[in-house]
Structure 1
Amino acid sequence: MLIAHLSDPHVCAPGELYQGLVDSNGMFEAAVRRVTALDPAPDLVIMTGDITEHATEAEYAHALSLLAPIRQPILAIPGNHDEREAFRRAFAGHGFVPPVGPLHFVAGAFGPVRVIGLDISVPGHHHGDIDAATVAWLEAAIATEPDRPTLIMLHQPPVETGIGFIDAYRCFNGERLAAVISRYPTVERVLCGHVHRHMSMRFGGTMLQIAPSTASSIALRLAPDAEPASFVEPPALLLHHWRGPAGLATHYLPIDPGAGPLPFF
């Protein structure tokens, strides 16, 4: 099973630039072309939040038009730049969003790996939170098939990355999530966005991975008093490859493949 993982496209209304500086729409269009050109094709495409920049109807409509070339099922969760009800209306036709409440979902119909999406957004704020209701929902969801390989998606990472100016807006109460996950060794990955950088670390007895943004990169500034900044680094996506007994391998895949193919050397 092959899963293409996009994150943080920050789609704007047609003709508008992200933060007035970056053509996030064009960059997301290029990312979609990269996904549709994959051989073999992915079985599933997932997106870990911040689908739009301002959560307007025009932005969601444009995001869906940019995603239209993808023929595989798409699963997505909201980020802090999304808005729950606008997101729900936009993705209602994709079959994974619940009709009311937080946008949690369980998707197990697309292959051997189950995908669980968590809506940890706090309306009106940029941080996320693992509250008691989310913990109870997740525990019940995993327990329906405790032995099935599982990916858990959430937007803000429930850990500190070391980049202080983004850690202030992380997902709080991550220890609650870690406690649940640690009881289920079949949770193969915790997948996040938000940081606009690729990062991997241990969490709850499994692997947590943050996907890069297709729009921009938050500066890797690890000094405690570092000034916030962003760069336009080469955008990328993650590709998660489940190979049965061999387990799950994750590949970092640049949107622009660069020069090649060249003779093997």
Structure 2
Amino acid sequence: MLLAQISDLHIGAAGSSMDVHAHTAEHLARAVEHLNRLDPSPDAILVTGDLVDAGSAAEYTRLATLLAPLKAPYYLVAGNHDDRENLRAAFAHHGYFPAEGYLHYVVDLGPLRVVALDTNLPGEPGGLLCNERLAWLDARLGEEPLRPTIVMQHHPPFRTGMQQMDTMILDGMEAMADVVRKHPQVERIVCGHLHRPITRRVGGTLAMTCPSTAHQVELDLRARGRLAVISEPPACLLHTWSEELGLVSHTSYIGDFGTPYVIIAEETAPGRAVQM
């Protein structure tokens, strides 16, 4: 089972700053091509928020057009740049969003269960997990205690040491850790928001963030750090599941990095030990 994850697409209207300066639509088109070329192909794609930049209906229409060529089914959650109602309306045909309220849902993907959690707090860069949302999460996790589960959301439930990004944190993350700790079948909490690959242990499991399909946030761990974006390579995450290995997560960079130099050809020497 292979699940891909992309995040922080920030699709703007044609001619917007995101379009002209950050080229987010062009970057997403390249990400879609990258995902479609993967071998093996992903069974599904998780898209962890900040889908568009201003939350307008026109942006979601453009987003849907850009995502349409994907060969695998994809599942969306809202980020702080998203508008809950415009997102719900634009992708109502997907069938997994509830008709009203928070954009929570559960989807069964082969051997894995994915619980999608809405951390959106309208008008704020940070997120919120209130008592109602935490109770919903606890109830959903309690339904299948033996099934390997991924929780997907936009805001990560941890601080990073990046001072400026830590001003945009998830309110309720300690309470979320308490909920997750009760449900050891949670294999991973996959998030976006930070525009960098970052991992931390939360509630007895591993939480991780996905890089952006476009611009990344500069890594700055100084006490008075700044907030800046940088043209580090776009990337996605690949989460592969097997009964033998469990859930293993990889970073897959999007771009042309030259032809691989083959050390062992798969058809001639499978499994041969080699020093690297």
TM-score interval for Structure 1 and Structure 2 normalised by the shorter chain: over 0.9
Equivalent residue number for residue 254 of structure 2: 255
CA 175–52 in structure 1, closer or farther in 2 if over 3 Å, else same? same
CA distance in 2 between partners of 1:73 and 1:16 (Å): 28
CA distance in 2, matches of 1:15, 1:255: 24
* Partners of 2:19 and 2:25 within 8 A in 1: no
The equivalent residue for 1:144 is 143
Q: For residues 170 and 145 of structure 1, what CA distance do their matches in structure 2 show?
A: 29
- In the alignment, the residues of structure 2 paired with residue 194 and residue 204 of structure 1 have an alpha-carbon distance, to the nearest angstrom, of 20
SS at match of 2:190: strand
Could you tell me which amino acid in structure 2 is paired with residue 101 of structure 1? G
Q: Which amino acid aligns with 2:244?
A: P
Amino acid at match of 2:204: G
Q: What is the aligned partner in structure 1 of residue 32 from structure 2?
A: 32
Work out the CA distance in 2 between the residues paired with 1:182 and 1:249. 20
Give 2:97's aligned residue. 97
TM-score scaled by length of structure 2: 0.93
- Worse overlay, 64-73 or 99-108: 64-73
Secondary structure, aligned partner of 1:164? coil
Rounded Cα–Cα distance in structure 2 between residues aligned with 1:94 and 1:159: 30
**CA contact 1:55–1:86 (8 Å) conserved in 2:** yes
Q: Using structure 1 for the length normalisation, give the TM-score.
A: 0.96
Shift of 1:158: 1.5
The Cα RMSD (Å) is: 1.2
Shift of 1:263: 2.6
Q: In the aligned structure 2, how far is the partner of 1:14 from the partner of 1:244?
A: 45
Moved more, 42-51 or 243-252: 243-252
Aligned counterparts, 1:180-199, within 5 A? 180-199=179-198
Partner of 1:207 in structure 2? 206
5+ residue gaps, structure 2, are: 265-276
Name 2:114's counterpart in structure 1.
115
The CA deviation string for residues 161-204 of structure 1, in whole angstroms up to 9 with x for no partner, is 11110111111120111011111111000011000000111111
1:130 shift after superposition: 1.3
Q: Report the structure number with the largest CA radius of gyration.
A: 2
> How many residues of Structure 1 are paired with residues of Structure 2 in the alignment?
264
CA distance in 1, matches of 2:99, 2:167: 31
Task: Name the SS for the 1:152 alignment partner.
Answer: strand
Q: Is the 8 A contact 1:2 1:44 kept in 2?
A: yes
Per-residue deviation at 1:257? Answer: 4.6
Alpha-carbon spacing, 1:31–1:19, altered in 2? closer, same or farther (3 Å): closer
Secondary structure in 2 matching 1:194: coil
